[in-house]
Structure 1
Amino acid sequence: MTRLTGRALRLTVFIGETDTWHHKPLYAEIVHRAHAAGLAGASVFKGVEGFGVSSLIHTSRLLSLSEDLPVAIVVVDTEERVRAFLPQLDELVGEGLVILDDCEVIRYVGRDAEPGESGGKGKKSL
């Protein structure tokens, strides 16, 4: 498991939900490449409303359904590892926004096993 504490770099990629890479969702390709690159983690968040350079508002509101809601992919790791990953984004992201933020990792822990499995420790979420 990757250990990550202290100073880190947060990479956020804003794209549209319908953006694709070789007939697959672009967000999935970015997450799989981040995993293959050994980055500490990546998450995808689907927005309910937003606009970008096109100035078109995309929304999930019932009366104006959009097929291209905003999506944010967030990756956090050391600055060196995140910056080494950036050339892959140059290849993948044709339209969108890529930003970097300095951050501090306070706690980064994984789950050994699900509660109830042999040797598993953990707290149940409500």
Structure 2
Amino acid sequence: MSRLGGPALRLTVLIGESDRWHHRPLYSEIVHRARAAGLAGASVFRGIEGFGASSLVHTTRLLSLSEDLPVAVVIVDREERVRAFLPQLDGMVAEGLVLLDRCEVVTYAGRGQGQEQGQGQGQEQEPGRERGRGETAE
């Protein structure tokens, strides 16, 4: 896994949950291609309500429109790596919105990172204090 910190580029792809790429959910295809391209990470967020260029509102409140809820695929990495990935989206995103935003990475760490050698699962923590997700012992 590459180190990531400082200036970066955020790629956001806004599509519908029912969008497909060769019988596979489009959001899943984008995530798997991002991983294969070696990008720092990708996340998919499911919306509860939204509309796009068609102006049709999709919402969880109406059963008939809850099958195509908005989905955001968010990828963050160094600018040159994100821009090199963009051609993979050509032809895949027939309906939706693709955004690029400059951002700054403050923290980028996976599970088990930041722990010194010899520390790990059996390490004690402060009494009465539980570590939150992604938080490591000091």
Stretches of 4+ aligned residues off by more than 4 angstroms: 62-65
Q: Supply the distance in 1 between the matched residues of 2:81 and 2:36 (Cα, whole angstroms).
A: 12
**1:78 aligned onto 2:85:** no
Which of these two proteins has the greater Rg computed from alpha carbons? 2
Alpha-carbon shift at residue 64 of structure 1 (Å):
5.7
**1:93 aligned onto 2:100:** no
**1:125 aligned onto 2:135:** no
Q: Supply the distance in 1 between the matched residues of 2:38 and 2:56 (Cα, whole angstroms).
A: 36
Q: How does 1:1-126 map to 2 (within 5 A)?
A: 1-61=1-61, 65-112=65-112, 120=120, 124-125=131-132
Q: Supply the distance in 2 between the matched residues of 1:27 and 1:8 (Cα, whole angstroms).
A: 22
Mind listing any 5+ residue stretches in structure 1 that lack a counterpart?
A: none
Q: Which whole-Å deviations, capped at 9, do the CAs of 1:19-48 have from their partners, x for residues lacking one?
A: 001100000000000000000000000000
Q: Which whole-Å deviations, capped at 9, do the CAs of 1:82-103 have from their partners, x for residues lacking one?
A: 0000000113111110000000
Aligned length: 122
TM-score by length of 1: 0.89
User: Once the two structures are aligned, what percentage of the paired residues are identical?
Assistant: 71
Alpha-carbon shift at residue 119 of structure 1 (Å):
5.5
TM-score by length of 2: 0.81
**Higher helix content, 1 or 2:** 1
